[in-house]
Structure 1
């Protein structure tokens, strides 16, 4: 078996496990799906070696690296790699450029009788491949944009479509003023990498039409690729229409019930207070758009709902808060934006009608499951 591997498409299609031996600070900035960070040097060690490299050259930097990662520390790191390889025999190894760090890791493993192939060109080469594919992918599919007012259930319906990509899921953000989650939002690099993984897989499956949720230039702190912004702006728009009563229930479940469960799972000592603080911060961020009077009204409605929950554990009063947000904040904003793109609307309907329409459009141009 070759010591180097550069069939990046197969890595994506096979969801190949990857060992990233870069330092944690590098991994945090951007990595790949199915990768685990098992660094050969931690952040402090890498920093010291970097300074040595600048001041004294490559040979002395390598010497320092071997002295810093030796003995028990070295054995711990080799054992972590070995354990991962045992659990994932098809795993591959990479560092930044596919150079010294991954080569040394590979050699140390070989000394322990463990074989692993490393990525040719490392992170940099794989990342460059994904960026090229991201740019070129827009030439190989026709987008269908799924729009609809907040709470209409667009994400719910997207998850039922095998030819859809959940952009908000990839960004780890619900795409609205109240869309921030407890877990950190995906980095820009990881969003682009993960989106490209999805695109490669969907196009390999033969889909010519891909369904995407109607998004602006950014989802939270993550920005859409420029090529996608242009493509989506010209794409046909399908509007999911959902009764207000159903929208209230969907939004209540997402913003209140499930959100509080996330705080509970995250181990917050006082779940209700932590969640309440996040919602109040979100309402303060939309104060200018709402205006002073409406902002005061929505805050009072919310406070009444919180007190009701504290008193008897009921979520019922949050429905009034959700309805106010939908009618007074989200709907006017959405209606204004959609009016400017009315010529792109090709269909309106409820969930089942939308599915049937999209199926009829894509039936002869891509595999449907």
Structure 2
């Protein structure tokens, strides 16, 4: 018989990489919000779920169950085969630990596929996330990465994270780059997904004495930072990176690939066009049309992003800021590692370089 498993037990086992979570809800439900890292093996697709729901409301629960059984019976071989290909402990879940996960677990158990069912499903997981959010320990020392647009802040953080540094990658959690052009080529996450990824990362970093993250605004795409994390950012040591303009332009071109998203870039530009001096705005638009992307990026940096960023940087006192003048991203990574090492070791404020 399959085993019901509580959220806390599931999280503990999954942290060790020994469990795969399977969301058996429809694809649209899965895409809207799920437990991060889960796979989707739906018992019903979106059309089937809608049909069964209509029968339940307009005819009877029995009619819905009969139709559900008919649909499931036809797809059982492929459904079971998908689970048998997994080689880790399996836990299935639906919205609230109801019929879909129970049916899936029962059928799999009958076919000798060892499986757990998550108690309470996604709803219980969401409650776990909210509870954790309310009790997050955000009293750690924070190093906040700042710099003009194009200084490679996200790339720097990801390089540091690969080396084991306690990075909170807020843009990855939001699946958005944090600017008017930030969603180009991406599908931004909603608030529930962002919260889930943030809480799980903070859980992983609970034993770290400090964290690093980018100096984002309160909103990143569709997601809003928790006030406690925003306050942590404001109190943290502000590391400002200064990179040559040529490097910044290249970083943006590498990151955004505007030649692949020409219409999206133009649409985003038109949202800010009125905020740029008219002759410059006209020149930027012409560059986008003629695919002179390097010049378009340079003009956007000089006449739109840099002046706005200077205002933000000036809000912090000099005693809270560290300036890093570097030639490229890899140099910035090494300088930040050195600064953090000195600060964590001595407990003293870092000096500007």
* TM-score, normalised relative to structure 2: 0.85
- Deviation of 1:300 (Å): 2.5
Q: Which of 256, 271, 287 is the aligned partner of 1:285?
A: 271
CA displacement 1:344-363 (0-9 Å, x = unmatched): 73311141333322222334
Bigger drift between 21-30 and 293-302 goes to 293-302
- RMSD (CA atoms): 2.4
Q: Which of 295, 301, 311 is the aligned partner of 2:287?
A: 301
> What is the rounded CA distance, in whole Å, between the counterparts of 1:249 and 1:68 in structure 2?
53
Q: Does 1:359 align with 2:326?
A: no
Label 1:88 to 1:188 Cα distance change in 2 as closer, same or farther (>3 A).
Answer: farther
- Deviation of 1:11 (Å): 4.5
> What is the rounded CA distance, in whole Å, between the counterparts of 1:344 and 1:167 in structure 2?
25
CA displacement 1:304-327 (0-9 Å, x = unmatched): 4x2xxxxxxxxxx54332221111
Label 1:283 to 1:75 Cα distance change in 2 as closer, same or farther (>3 A).
Answer: same
Q: Which of 298, 304, 310 is the aligned partner of 1:329?
A: 304
What residue is the counterpart of 2:83 in the other structure?
Answer: 81
Unpaired runs of at least 5, structure 2:
326-331, 348-353
Q: Does 1:21 align with 2:20?
A: no
CA displacement 1:274-294 (0-9 Å, x = unmatched): x22222112111112214332
- Is the contact made by 1:173 and 1:220 (CA closer than 8 Å) also made in structure 2? yes
Write the mapping of 1:190-339 to structure 2, written as runs, cut at 5 A.
190-203=193-206, 206-256=207-257, 259-260=258-259, 263=260, 275-304=261-290, 306=291, 318-339=293-314
- Is the contact made by 1:283 and 1:295 (CA closer than 8 Å) also made in structure 2? no
Label 1:344 to 1:96 Cα distance change in 2 as closer, same or farther (>3 A).
Answer: farther
Label 1:133 to 1:55 Cα distance change in 2 as closer, same or farther (>3 A).
Answer: same
- Deviation of 1:179 (Å): 2.1
> What is the rounded CA distance, in whole Å, between the counterparts of 2:248 and 2:317 in structure 1?
22
- Is the contact made by 1:82 and 1:109 (CA closer than 8 Å) also made in structure 2? no
- Deviation of 1:364 (Å): 7.5
What residue is the counterpart of 1:180 in the other structure?
Answer: 183
State the SS of the aligned residue for 1:69.
helix
State the SS of the aligned residue for 2:184.
coil
Total equivalences in the alignment? 333
State the SS of the aligned residue for 2:303.
helix
Label 1:2 to 1:277 Cα distance change in 2 as closer, same or farther (>3 A).
Answer: closer
* TM-score, normalised relative to structure 1: 0.82
What residue is the counterpart of 2:351 in the other structure?
Answer: none
What residue is the counterpart of 2:315 in the other structure?
Answer: 340
- Is the contact made by 1:143 and 1:231 (CA closer than 8 Å) also made in structure 2? yes
Label 1:103 to 1:344 Cα distance change in 2 as closer, same or farther (>3 A).
Answer: farther
> What is the rounded CA distance, in whole Å, between the counterparts of 1:324 and 1:40 in structure 2?
52
- Deviation of 1:250 (Å): 1.7
CA displacement 1:132-186 (0-9 Å, x = unmatched): 2233224453322111111112112111322112111222222122222324222
Label 1:135 to 1:243 Cα distance change in 2 as closer, same or farther (>3 A).
Answer: farther
- Deviation of 1:28 (Å): 1.4
Unpaired runs of at least 5, structure 1:
264-274, 307-316
